[in-house]
A and B are shown apart, each in its own frame.
Chain A
Amino acid sequence: MNIPDCPLPTQPTDCITLAHGGGGRMTNRLIESIFYPAFANQWLEQAHDGATLPMPHSRLAFTTDSFVVSPLFFPGGNIGDLAVNGTVNDLLCCGATPLYLSAAFILEEGLPLDTLRQVVQAMREAATRAGVSIVTGDTKVVEHGKCDGLYINTSGIGLVPGNIEIGLHRVQKGDAVIVTGPIGNHGVSILSTREGLNFETTIESDTAALTHIVSNLLAGVPDVHMLRDPTRGGLSSTLNEIAEGAGVTITLDEQSLPIEPPVRAACDLLGLDPLYVANEGILLIFLPDEHAEQALHIIRNDPHGKGARLIGHVTDDRRPEVLLELALGQTRVLDMLSGEQLPRIC
C-alpha cells in the first residue's frame, strides 16, 4: 500500500493560503518574514497584541479607515501607500501630528506573497515619508473569492498641540476655502486602470501624506479653522458635509476649481462630474480670508501643494448649502452625490 507523503501545512508556497490566517506557524512566519522587517520599530518589537506607547500630556487624535481599492496597483500608487497616507491625512485634518499606525490585513487565499511584499514595502516607504510608525497589526486570511486580493485597515494616533483648534464649530462666514491641489486625479486614475481605458495620457493618483503642508501651514498661519480631505464622494460631498455640519453656505467659483485637462476630458468622456470624483492627496482648508494669500504661499512651496487654489468662501451662516458660481454669473446648488457615480450610455 502506498502511503502518500504527509502534506505539511508549513511547506513553502508563493501564495497566501488559508493556513497563513490560522494563527499558527504559517501566520507567524508571514508576520516575521514580511511585516516585522518592513515596519521594524521598538514598539512593534514588543511583539504583543497591542503596543504600549509613551504619550506626553496632550490631546489625542485617533482615527481608523479601511481600504478596499481595486486594482491593488494603479498609476501613482497602490493600496499600501493609500492605507498609510489616508489615515495620516485623517489625523492631519484633526490638526494632529501623526505618530503611530496599526495595520490590519485581510488576505485572500491565493494572493501571491510577492504582491503582499510590494504592498508592505510601499506602506513602509509611505510611513517613513509621513514620519509615523506602524506599531501593531493583525492578519486574517479568507477563502479564495471572498475578497478582492487584499484589504487593509489602518488606525492612527496623533497628538494635537494645545494651541490648535480645528473643527466644524470654527467654520464661519468670511472664511476662505482653499484646495491644495487639482481634483479628480485619484478617482480617474483608479477608474481608467480598473476598466482598462486607454487614455492618451496616464492620469496618476495623487495619493500622498500631506504632513509637511499641514505642519508648515499650522506653524505659519495664525488661525486655521478647518481641514478635511475630500476623498469618497469628491469635493462636492465633502463640502456639503461641512456646510451641513457647520450650518453655513459655501460658495465656490467654478472658474477657479483646479481640474487638470486630461482629468476633465476623461470625465467628459465618461459622463462623470470631477466634483464628485474621489481624491486622495489633497486637503480642503478653511481659514480667515485675510490669511488666504499667506496660506497659499506656504502650501505652494510644498511639492504636493503646487496646484493650490482659493476656490471660494463661506458666504452665509443661515442656510447650510453649497453653491457654485458659473462663468456668466449664474449660481446653482452643488449637491451631495446620490449613490455612486455611474458612467453614461451615449
Chain B
Amino acid sequence: MQISKQKKLEMLRSLLLSRKFEEALTELCKIENKIPGMMILCTGQEAVGTGVCAALEMEDVIITNHRSHSHLLAKGADPKLLMAEIYGKKTGCNKGKSGTLHLAVPEINAPCTTTVVGGGPPIAVGRAFAQQYRKEKNVTVCFIGDGATNEGSFHEAVNLASLWSLPVLFVCENNLYAGAQRYEEHTKVRNIAERAAGYAIPGVVVDGNDALAVYTSAVEARARAVAGEGPTLIEYKTYRWRGHGESDLQLYQPKDEIEVWQEMCPIPKLRDELLAEGLISPDELGEMESRMDAIVKDAILFAEESPYPEPHEALQDVFA
C-alpha cells in the first residue's frame, strides 16, 4: 500500500507527541502528591494508537481503555485538556471527574473510556450498531489488551458484531502482560487473532511496533467494515515497557526481555525509515521534536496553573 509523505510525517509526529507526553508523566509521578491516583502508561506501544487512528476519519469512533493516552492523542485530543484532567483540575476535559484512567473526549469521537477489562467490546458493538442503524459510512474501533480477550464480554460482543456485520475493529494490543501475568500464563492459543475463527471473522496478526504496518492493516479492516462486511479482529504484537501503574516494580518481567523490546522501539523504526527515504531531514526532525516538547511543556504549564474544582462540583453531572 502506497502511504503518502504527509501521512507518514503525521504518524511520526503522533509517536513523538505520545512518547513525550508519557515520559513527562513518568517524571511527574515521581514527585509526591503531584498526580493523583494510578498512572497506567502505554509507553512503547504508541505505534498501535498512532497507526490505527491515522487510518480513521474524524467521524469514526474509538472506545479505549486504561492505556488510552496514545489513542486519544493520535485521534486528536487536546494535550492541555488531557493533562489538566490527569492533574485533577477543573479545566480538564472531564472537569476532574475522570482522572487519567477514564478520559472521555466526545469532541473527537472518543465518548468513553472504560477501565473495566473487557468493558469496551460490548459498548463498541452498540456504538457501531448506531452507525449501521443510521447508515453512516464510519466505524468504531475498540482498543483492548490481551487480557481483555479472556473476559466473557469480549466473546459476547464479537459474536454479536459478527452476527449483525457491525462496522467494528477489535484492536487487540497484545503487550504480553495482563496485570502481573505473562501471556502464556493466561492464554493457551498462540495468537489472540486465532479466536476470530470461532466467530467467522478475519483475524490478523501484525507487528504492533511498526506504525506503517499497523496503519495498512487498519485501513484494510476499516474498508471491510465500511463496505458492510463486518468486524475484524486485529492483534498487534507489542510490549508493555511500564508496569500496571507507576508503583508497579515489574518484578515479574525479565529485565533483558524489556531491553530486547526497547531495541524494537516503534519510534526509531519509523524515524529512520523517513530519514532514509528523505521524507524528513535531520533538521526538520529536530524541529518536530522541539515542537512536541513545547506542546507537552505547555500542557503541563496549563495543568499546573489551572485551579482545582470546588468540592461541591463533585455533585454535578450525575444526571442530565
Instruction: Tell me, yes or no, whether A binds B.
Output: no
B contact set with A: CB distance below 8 Å:
none
